[in-house]
Each structure stands twice: as C-alpha cells, then as structure tokens.
Structure 1
C-alpha cells in the first residue's frame, strides 16, 4: 500500500466523520423543533380550553405510545426535547396571550374599530367588565376579546367608561378610533353620556 493511497483513505475517513460544529447544529435544531412542538401543542391545549396538565397527563403518554407502537423507536430522546409539564404549558400559553394582546393593541392604535362592553356580576358579588372589539384586518372582519377587568366600585355607566378609558390610556389606544359602541344593560348606561361630552370639549 502506497503512502498516497493510505493518506487518501485517511482523508476520506476523516471527512466522513461529522464535525463538532455539525453535531452541535444538529442538536440545536432538534431542540428548536422540540420547543416549536411544545408551543404548538400548548396552543392546541389553550384553544380547546383544556387544563394545562393535559400536556403531561394525556399528550405525552399518547406521543410515547405512537413512537413505540407505530415507529418502533426509543422514546426517551424525543420526549426529553418536548417540554409539556403543567408549568411549561402555562408559561407558553401566557407568552402567546401577551403576544396576541400586544398585536391587537398595536392594530387598534392606528385603525378604526367598534367596541362591545358587557358587565356582569359574579356569584361572589364581584363585578366584571368584558370588552370585545370588531375591526377590519386584511379585508376581513375580525372580532377579538380586548380585555376583562374587575369593576372596583360599581357597575354604573361612568365606572364602565372610566375602566375602558384607563385601559385605552395604558395601551395608548386613542378613544377617537372607536366608531361605535354596543353596551349591555342600556339603563345602567343612561348617565354616562355626560362623560363623553367632557372628552369632546
């Protein structure tokens, strides 16, 4: 065997081995895929109004069953890369909710929208105000929950308006962007027309 052929064979063998950077990038990609799967599954759990524990108690065991029974592969490596504990799902859901609220508020800062306010009293005598908005985005009519807030004092029209005004000020949404408002319980709102007059003066 000549030195040249030995050198050539050694070089091929060396080139065939994965480099440290390739191994590292492969590991990072697998971790990224696991994290993406965790977010997607957390979104599915949130959309179906299931408890956060569903990921840990139902979905992970189902994934294990599919991998072992159908794919005949070891599950440990795959499951380790998909964090679906109760706290992980809750964190992902909270992060996605924050992103959705931020995106919605950014749109309302520059566009016109209509608003629906609905106040109700809970069995614990707490008053809750829900606000929904309807707007046009990408030539489609969209409807989203804007906020849910406790009414600190009462359910009078002025209190409802001040709660809305406070939220809009916090999020820097101009009240002039509201083109119409639908309000639940019209009699409770009869005194609130004084407040908008102050806004216009």
Structure 2
C-alpha cells in the first residue's frame, strides 16, 4: 500500500523545520506566530496567490506549538546520544555548575565517546533545586544516568571546573564519584585553569 503525503504531513514537517530554525538562531519562541507566519503568508500570497497562502497558513506556528516542537526535538536528540553511548559501552563526562541569572543554578553535563570517531555532545542541563554541594551534584547526575539506563561503571573519565563543591577532599563531587567507580580518571578543565592564571597575572 502506497502512503500518500497529505497537507497535514507536510504542515507538521514544516512546523518542526521552523521550530528547529528558531531554536538554532536562539530567537524567542513567539517568533513563529509573530514574525515567520505573517511574513511567510504575505510572501506566498504575493507570489503564488491566496489558495497557496491558505495552504501555508495551515502550518502550526503558535508559541505553545513551537515550544512543544523544540522540546520533542531535544528529547529525540538526547535519546539518540544515549543509544550511541550504550552501543559503544564507555563514555567520558564533563560537569560544570554555575550560578545563572535570578540565582538559578544550572548543572551542565557534556559527554565524549568513540563512535568511529571522537564524539562530543551536550548530555544534559539540569537545575539544582536547593544547594550546590557535591552530594547534590552527584545525586543529579546519578539520577540522569539511572533514568537513561546508564551506570557510573560505564564512565571511564570525568572532568570538572575546579569549584569547591567539585574538589573538596571528603565531600566533593569527585571524591563521591570515585566511590561509585574507583577506576575513573579525573581532570581539571584546562579552560578554567587558564582563566585562573589570567586573573592571577592581572593582579600582578
């Protein structure tokens, strides 16, 4: 049986393509309905007529729709990354936490693994709910790994930013992760080391 491509199918695909473009350009999610939709309708009507415009206007570009499309794409990308990690058994992890605007504290996790070549990919971005201790960071990362069927035993190395919560001797994140997997290698991000050296030199 031959599957026919309908207007609904093409409108859905177009909606995802516009959402991807908005996300890549880091534009407000209202851009679809406030700018893209009116501009596209005007262009199509001018060049191809009202019938073509009516077809194009069926592409859903509301704020809520664009938000949902971006969320669905991010979930899909995350699932693909996890599956590629599982197929290659081992991965390395870089973790960075910082205080952002309005006192929120995002925890970023980047992964590296070998899939014919070295692949580096954003793994997660999670908000630490209350405090930013080594225990909180470990709990957040462990929760992510468990939810996606991964284990600390699969992590062969970890790189951190050098914050006190990361490197404290007894309660730091690194100390706690080594209890989960003592065979992991650990490293301090060279970019953070360079920044510290620069600050020290500026004081001289």
- For normalisation by structure 1, the TM-score amounts to 0.74
Instruction: Report the Cα distance in structure 2 between the residues aligned to 1:195 and 1:87, rounded to whole angstroms.
Output: 40
- The answer to whether structure 1 residue 134 and structure 2 residue 109 are counterparts is no
Instruction: Report the Cα distance in structure 1 between the residues aligned to 2:7 and 2:96, rounded to whole angstroms.
Output: 46
Instruction: Report the Cα distance in structure 1 between the residues aligned to 2:86 and 2:9, rounded to whole angstroms.
Output: 34
Instruction: Report the Cα distance in structure 1 between the residues aligned to 2:105 and 2:13, rounded to whole angstroms.
Output: 38
Shift of 1:76: 4.4
Structure 1: segments with no counterpart, 5+ residues:
1-24
Say if 1:124 and 1:64 are closer, same or farther in 2 by CA, change over 3 A: closer
Indicate if the aligned counterparts of 1:151 and 1:160 stay in contact, CA closer than 8 A.
Answer: yes
Say if 1:200 and 1:176 are closer, same or farther in 2 by CA, change over 3 A: closer
Shift of 1:194: 4.0
- Which protein, 1 or 2, shows the higher relative CO under an 8 Å CA cutoff with sep ≥ 6? 1
Indicate if the aligned counterparts of 1:121 and 1:128 stay in contact, CA closer than 8 A.
Answer: yes
Per-residue CA deviations over 1:89-145 (Å, capped at 9, x if unaligned) read: 1111111111112222222234222111001123544433111112233x3433222
Say if 1:197 and 1:136 are closer, same or farther in 2 by CA, change over 3 A: closer
Structure 2: segments with no counterpart, 5+ residues:
183-204
Q: What residue number does 1:69 align with?
A: 46
| Structure 2 counterparts to residues 40-79 of structure 1, below 5 A | 40-79=17-56
- For normalisation by structure 2, the TM-score amounts to 0.74
Q: How many aligned residue pairs are there?
A: 175
Instruction: Detail structure 1 runs of 4+ shifted over 6 Å in the superposition.
Output: none
Instruction: Report the Cα distance in structure 1 between the residues aligned to 2:27 and 2:99, rounded to whole angstroms.
Output: 25
Indicate if the aligned counterparts of 1:37 and 1:82 stay in contact, CA closer than 8 A.
Answer: yes
- The answer to whether structure 1 residue 198 and structure 2 residue 179 are counterparts is yes
| Structure 2 counterparts to residues 1-201 of structure 1, below 5 A | 29-111=6-88, 112-137=90-115, 139-185=116-162, 187-188=164-165, 189-191=167-169, 192=172, 193-200=174-181
